[in-house]
Amino acid sequence: MADDDVPIDDPAHNQIVAECYYVFMQLLTNKNQSEFAIFEGIKKEIEMAPDDAGFFRAMLVGMAEASDGVSESEQIEINRILEAINI
């Protein structure tokens, strides 16, 4: 998912962020249709690169915090997603 070797000002960093955002948007817009497949893909990515688990958790929380902090419903959803991908 993320490459710590890519500086934030490198155009490749924007590509990485865009890919993560795309995955999150797919979760939101296609929840019932593709959630399982997306979760399985994320789970496999984290199995191959366990250090990405912290990055993924930070992205979920960061997105929720962007709107006046993490609401109770957002925290429930974050917990559900983290449980589904074994983090």
Is the whole model's pTM more than 0.75, yes or no? no
- In this structure, is residue 3 part of a structural domain? no
Q: The domain containing residue 35 runs over which residues? A: 11-84
- Gap between the Cα atoms of 16 and 9, Å rounded: 12
Give exposure, 55-67, as e/b (b: 16+ Cβ within 10 Å).
Answer: ebeebbeebbeee
- In this structure, is residue 28 part of a structural domain? yes
At residue 71, what is the residue type? Answer: S
- Gap between the Cα atoms of 1 and 65, Å rounded: 21
- In this structure, is residue 24 part of a structural domain? yes
Residues 11-51: tens digit of each pLDDT: 787 788 788 888 778 777 877 777 888 889 889 989 998 98
Q: In the numeric block, which tokens belong to residue 48?
A: 């191959």
Domain total of the chain? 1
Q: How confident is the model at residue 3 (pLDDT cuts 50, 70, 90)?
A: low
- In this structure, is residue 6 part of a structural domain? no
- In this structure, is residue 41 part of a structural domain? yes
- Gap between the Cα atoms of 79 and 26, Å rounded: 18
